[in-house]
Structure formats: C-alpha cells, structure tokens
A and B are shown apart, each in its own frame.
Chain A
Amino acid sequence: MSMTGIEEMRKISEQRWSDLKGAEKVAYIGAASCGHAAGIVKVIRAIDEFNEKNGLGIEKVEVGCLGMCSFEPMVYFQKNGKDPVVYGNLDGERIPTLLDGIFNKDHYPIEGLLGVLGEGYDDLPSIYDHPMMRPQRRIILENVGRIDPTNLEHYLANDGFKGLEKALKMDPQEVIDIVKGSELRGRGGAGFPTGMKWQFCRNAKGEKKYLICNADEGDPGAFMDRSVLEGDPFRLIEGMIIGAYAMGTQLGYIYVRKEYPLAIFRLHIAIRECREKGILGKDILGSEFDFDIEIMEGAGAFVCGEETALIASIMGKRGMPQPRPPFPAQKGLWGYPTNINNVKTLSTMPSIMRKGADWYSSIGTKGTRGTAVFALTGKLKNSGLVEIPMGTTLREIIFDIGGGMDEGKSFKAVQTGGPSGGCLPADALDYIVDFESLKDAGTIMGSGGMIVMDEDTCVVDVAHYFISFTQEESCGKCSPCRIGTKQMLDLLTKIKAGDGTRKELDELASLAWTIQNGSLCALGQTAPNPILTTLRYFMDEFREHVFEKKCRARVCKALIQYEINELKCIGCGACERRCPVKAISEKPVKVTTIKGSKNNIRVIDPGTCIRCGLCLETCPPSANAISKVSPIDRKDEKKQGGDGK
C-alpha cells in the first residue's frame, strides 16, 4: 500500500471510529488477561442475553485493559453518542438492572460506577479524575483500554502510523536525531540513551542488520509489557518499523514469553493485518523500504532477558550470555549488527515521531525524560498498571494512585527493579522516580515492577525469595553467579531457620561483593541487590532473626508458633480435622457450644506442628481462637507478667 493508500484507509477508519463513537448503544468490554480471569465471559453472556431478550441492539467492542486491574471485570456503556461510562467489579447478575437502568430508564446506577471515559457530564465524574487515573500521563498506554487491540482501523483512527508516515518522509539520520533530541532512555532497566544506541547500529557495517524487541518480561511482579502487547500491539509494530527504517534493518524479532498466550495471539493478528495492508513487508507504504517481523516464543528461561543470551536463544542455542564487547550493535544475531530494545521503548516511538523531540523532552526530569509505566502490585488497595511522568514520588504512586495500604495495615517496604533491584523503607518514600534518584536510594528503576509490602511481610523472607529466584534462573556459565547465589541462598535459609550467627551476616555482605564484581552478565552482577538493600535498610530485622531468633512479621516458620486461645476456643474441632500432621488434640477443658453440648477445647503440639497455617484459616471467624505468635514475645510477656495479648 502506498502513502496515499494509507491516507484513504485512515479516512475510512476515522469515519468508522466516529460512527462508533456516535452510536446509540455500545458496550466496550475489558478483555485483557485480567478481565478474562476476573470473569468477563459471564458478563458478556449476561449482556448478550439481556440484549436479545429486550431487542436493545447493543453493539459490543472488546478493548484492552485500562490498568485499573482491581476493578475488573469492567465494561463501559455508551448511550446516544456520549462518552462511555465505565463500570467496574461487574458480575453477570448485575447486568440486567444495569442495562435496564442505562438504556431503558436513562439512569446510571451508582454501584460500581467509576466515571466517564472522557469529560464528565450530567453529574457523572470523569474517570480521569479518579484517584487512580488523575496523576497519570498516558503516552505508551494512550490507546490501551480505549481501542480494540486487534482492529487496525481503531489504531489508524487514533493517530496510528502517523509517526511512521512522518519518519518515512525523512532521512533515516533525521529520525535518529529526533530520538536523540527526545533524550529517551531505554525502558528495559539499564536506561541507556536510545538515540545513541540506534546510532551505533546505524553506523555499524554489515550486509544485513536486525532489530529485536525484548518482550521476555520475567521479573517477579512485572506485567507492563504484557498489558501493552495485549492492549495495543500495533503501536509496538509501528515503533519497530520506525526503528528499522532509522537503522536500516530488514528483519525484526519480537522475543516474547510463552507464558503470555493472549499477547502472542494478538501480536500474530496485528502482524498479519499489517502484512496484508502493506505496512509490513516489501516497499512499506510505497517508501521502497522493506521490513518484516517474526515472533519468537521464549521457552521459560529468565536469563534470556539479557541481550546476548536472548540472541543466543533466537539462534537456537542455550540461552547463555556472552562477554561484551563485542556489543550486539557490532556483532549480534548471526554475527550481524543488532539492536535490542524493550517493548516500552519501542512503543514510545510513534508518539515521539508524531509530536516531536521537544514535546517528549519537556516531560519528566532532567536526567530521565518522559514517563514510566509501573505494574503496581502487592498489599495496596488499587493494584494495576499506571503510567506517570518521571519525577513523581514513590509516595504519590503508592498512596495516591495505589490508594495506600489494604486492610488498614502499615507500609513496610516497596520493591522495584525485580531481582536486580532493591527494597526501600518508608523513609525513602519521598524519592522521586527516575533512573538516578532510585539508584541513589539503593535500588533501580528496572523495567517497571513495583511491589508494595506491608507489616506482614518479612524482609529476610523477601531477600530469600529473590535470591532463590536468581539461583534458579542462573544459567550456570560463570561460577560467581552459579555458586555464589547458591551460597547466599544457603546463608539466608539458615538465618530464616533461626540458625544464623554473626558469621552468616558478615558472609552475606562479602559474598555480595564477589558476585557483583565477578559475574559475567547483569543477572549475576545485580543478583545481590535485594540483599544489599534489605541489609542496608532493614538490618534490625536481620539482627532480630540472628540474635533474638525472632521474626517480627511472623513469616519465618522456624521462628513462630500457632496457639489456640483457651478462652476463645469453642471446641468445634474443625482445626483438628484439617490439620495434616495431627498436631492438634483435645484437652479436657469443657466449653458449652451455642447448641448447648459440652465440647473439649483443642491444643496444638508445637513439636509436631509444621506451621502450615491451615488451622488458622479453618478456625470459624466467630471464635477466632487461633493466632500466630512469636515464641520470643511470649517469653518476654511472661517475664513482664503480661496477659499474652
């Protein structure tokens, strides 16, 4: 298709889009992974049933995820061409009353109403004024949740491929200059200036070149790339074509995790569609530039997120990193110059090309321009996917957007950067988000996982978790990483088991130094970070584990006990039946049940108990007789004559 061809297609697309936006009755359905899992299918069925029975003629459009994951399933209802109204936490049963209210009675029921997807009207607030949305600045996520991700017309009608059209009319060097001018830094975690990286690849000599999109998102707590791929795959494709044109590459790869089936499915649809319309393949939009994209599914190796390991994996080899130099820009896939960018980096390109370098570099902080996409998860009220301008504080993200801690618990730590990052305490909440600031604080920005932890989280357990993750995922090529992570894991296991001494604490710190300095790739070099930051900020808790044999969060099994409060136990025996190791038995103390019968109360034998916690879960809430205690606290209380509360 030629440039004029796409203009015509855009006109048709815009017409269809405005027809849709002006339509009388539409239901936009949140159909990303989160919506599906939250039960959107039942909601769709209920809409279909009501629609058919009442002959309403509601049109249905499937869209991606708005990022307000804790409000899924979500549907936005559009009536008489007005901006749609978003409803969250839906279930099939509520649909008839809701539809009846909106479409028959001209009344928007208040339950589950989140706001208008656009400006508010008739007393209905705008969703962009919702606490979760207000501080956001959506660039990469611009379309996510607003358009049907598999519909090219929707993308075209929302400025899709305008950036590419502009780029194709320029000299490739001009495109790179714009990227340089935007000061965009790579969003995979390392934050290397993208324009410079592209320049290296453009300057490199080779009869062919490759562009790889790294969608092997594997950090625990991260799902940004998944949402972008599921919600707006055309944007990534546009970004990749822009990059390919700038660097002169003929073939691109999207290396995506097999664990993201919906993302892979939608990417296939989007790529096929682009090939059919001449946006991918030979002579793209009549520019005489050829480029195509292949999808490569990962096979469950976290280390393949490292660029040299990723290249090895595409070549069908073991996913093991190589020493750099040579850098991929000089000698990458099959020995040719190769550029690798993260999903979010490439998905930013269409906006930068469309709106210009100055526009982008006016957002964010001096060192880090633009926005950050975070997957906000953990023990907070609103988890989800958010995009904020760089420079926003951690406090704003967690307490304004995230709504603060869930269930009235207090904040303990926030973890960013996955297994390469660190845990920050409450004191650090006023740090702003950008590459340098988070580095100063002791962690890294990473690719965008942000895990919020409350008082019930044990930081030693968190450190143990991350090191067991890296130990498992270490490819085994170099010994500091292979053996060092195992040693660290053993030390932390010992501390968690209450067998730690000062020696273990000292060894942790010295091993961390060795692994950081001796490992071949970033996986190993950054593996000690979760431990170093927890040691730095939460030394007290490590000391408690080592010297007092106490876990204040009551997580480490060897340091806690379960107890039944004799005054509260109603003798129902539910815990005894559930206990997998028969650690619970009757004690000849009678209590009278509601029904009047006399029961013996129960006791737990701490020697047999495996601390699985099933008894605590099973105990009826009306009795609430079982609690997790730290034996050390009990001793102290006895000394002080406390009552055990």
Chain B
Amino acid sequence: MAPSTEEKQFLDKILEEASQLDSPVMFILHKMQNEYRSIKEDHAEYIARSMGKPLSEIYSAATFYDEFKTSPTGKYVVKVCRGIVCHSRNSIQVLNAVRARLDIDDGETTKDGLFTLEEASCIGQCDGGPAMIINGTVFRDLDPDLAVSIIDRIIGSGGA
C-alpha cells in the first residue's frame, strides 16, 4: 500500500518543515503520530525513502518510544498516572474505574475508536495526585467517580 495523494501532501509538508531542522526524525514522528494517531508502515516507508534512510532506522525509533504506535490509538488517549505519589493516593482505583467505564484494559482502544487507555509513569503532577492526562489536558485530584465523569463528559459531547 502506498500513501494516498492527500497523505503524501501532508508527509511532504512535514518533510519540508523538518528539512530546516538539525535533528528531524523525532519531529516527523511526532507530527505523524499526532495526525494519524499511529506511524503507518507505508508512511514510514515514504518518509525513509524521501530522506534517503533505511526504513529500519525510522521504524526502530517508532517502536522504541511509548508515544509512537504502530496501530492507531483512539481519538482520546487517556493516560492515568501511576507515579509513586498518585500510587500512594490510590490511583489504582481511578485506573480501575476508567477501565470499567471504557471496558478496556491498559494499552487497548475502545471499539468505536474514541479512547485508548494507558498507564503513564509519573506525569509530574505529584502535588495534585491522582492525576491523568487526556490529549494534553491535565486532570488532578481525581477520585474514581470524578475520573469517570470526565470520561462521560467527553462521550456526552459526542467526542468533539
């Protein structure tokens, strides 16, 4: 499979931006992950060819970091902090509540593609744990009910 014309346009655009940079690969991977919620194989091939690099180089980075996925994440990535302070404030109950609400385990994505659930190592909100981060928005001082109500709010808004 090859990237569609639209996808090529996007990839060319980020390649162009990246060409200005001293260290382009991570920048490109972040952009791809943000746009397509995963690093697709054909995209990685296209990028590697355009950059004159072996595919293995792009893929070895894409498969090392937690942030990059080879299969698409949900529209919302819910990362529940499992740092030591959150842990001592029962973050496990928050995690269990979110697991139960979404009916998925960590690392899984809901069938409708709306949510991916992850355990995060400390996200540095220790003065307000338990905490979670959803697509760049931090939620703190959680309890199981509050965490579920935040998920419900996203579902209620039609995932917009």
Interface residues of A, Cβ cutoff 8 Å to B: 33-34, 36-38, 69-70, 72, 217-223, 226, 251, 253, 257-262, 294, 296-302, 313-320, 333-334, 375, 377-379, 383-385, 415, 449, 451, 453, 457, 462, 465-466, 469, 472-473, 475, 612-614
Contacts and interface: CB of A to CB of B under 8 A. Distances in A.
Given A316-B61, A473-B121, A379 B128 contact: no
Contacts of B26: 296-297, 299, 313-314, 316
Contact of B120 (A226, A259, A453): A259
B121 A302 contact: yes
Given A377-B85, A378-B88, 18 more contacts: A34-B140, A37-B128, A37-B138, A69-B128, A222-B124, A259-B133, A261-B137, A294-B21, A294-B22, A294-B23, A299-B66, A300-B120, A314-B26, A315-B25, A375-B127, A377-B129, A472-B121, A475-B64
Contact of B127 (A70, A258, A473): A70
A378 B79 CA distance: 21
A383 B67 contact: no
Max chain B Cβ within 10 angstroms of own Cβ: one of A222, A320, A453: A222
B60 A221 contact: no
Nearest to B143: A617
B107 interface: no
Contacts of B66: 299-301
B125 interface: yes
Nearest to A473: B121
Contacts of A259: 79, 120, 123-124, 133
Interface of B: 21-27, 29-30, 57-58, 60-61, 64-68, 79, 83-85, 87-88, 90, 93, 96, 120-129, 131, 133, 136-141
A443 to B, nearest CB: 14
Contact of A69 (B64, B127, B131): B127
Contacts of B88: 378-379, 453, 457
A451 B124 contact: no
Contacts of B122: 218-222
Contacts of B57: 316-317
A221 B85 contact: yes
B124 A299 contact: no
Nearest to A375: B126
Contacts of B84: 220-221, 415, 451, 462, 465-466, 469
Nearest to A313: B26
Nearest to B131: A37
B22 A469 contact: no
Given A220-B84, A314-B23, A261 B138 contact: yes
Given A36-B138, A69-B127, A222-B122, A319 B83 contact: no
Given A259-B120, A315-B25, A379-B88, A33 B61 contact: no
Contacts of A449: 126
B126 A377 contact: yes
Nearest to A250: B22
Contacts of B129: 377
B23 A299 contact: no
Top 9 nearest A-B pairs (CB, nearest first) are A316-B25, A300-B66, A299-B65, A69-B127, A299-B67, A37-B140, A220-B122, A318-B64, A223-B124
A37 B126 CA distance: 12
11 contacts: A223-B126, A223-B127, A259-B133, A261-B137, A296-B27, A300-B67, A301-B66, A314-B23, A334-B23, A375-B127, A377-B129
Contacts of B140: 34, 37-38
B33 to A, nearest CB: 8
B62 to A, nearest CB: 9
A220 B83 contact: yes
Counting chain B CB atoms within 10 Å of each CB, the highest count among A36, A299, A385 belongs to: A299
B65 A38 contact: no
* Interface of chain A: mostly helix, strand, loop or mixed: mixed
Contacts of A466: 84
A472 B139 CA distance: 24
Nearest to B20: A294
A299 B129 CA distance: 22
Contacts of B60: 317-318
B10 to A, nearest CB: 19
A602 to B, nearest CB: 21
Nearest to B87: A465
B61 to A, nearest CB: 5
Nearest to A469: B121
A451 B122 CA distance: 13
Contacts of B93: 612-614
Nearest to A304: B65
B135 to A, nearest CB: 9
A218 to B, nearest CB: 6
A260 B133 CA distance: 10
B152 to A, nearest CB: 19
Contact of A299 (B68, B83, B87, B127): B68
A258 B126 CA distance: 16
Contacts of B79: 259
A453 B89 CA distance: 11
A16 to B, nearest CB: 32
Nearest to A68: B127
Max chain B Cβ within 10 angstroms of own Cβ: one of A221, A222, A314: A221
A465 B81 CA distance: 13
A471 to B, nearest CB: 11
A257 B124 contact: yes
Nearest to A300: B66
A475 B87 CA distance: 23
B47 to A, nearest CB: 11
Q: Which of B60, B96, B124, B137 has the most CB of A within 10 A?
A: B124
Which of A296, A377, A449, A462 neighbours the largest number of chain B CB atoms within 10 Å of its CB? Answer: A377
Contacts of B123: 259
A226 B124 contact: yes
A506 B65 CA distance: 35
A262 B79 CA distance: 16
Most chain B CB within a 10 A radius of its CB, from A36, A72, A258, A297: A258
A300 B66 CA distance: 5
Contact of B24 (A316, A377, A462, A614): A316
Contacts of A320: 64
A261 B136 contact: yes
A385 B127 CA distance: 9
B125 A258 contact: no
A96 B137 CA distance: 29
Contacts of A223: 124-127
A612 B30 CA distance: 38
Contacts of B30: 258, 297, 299
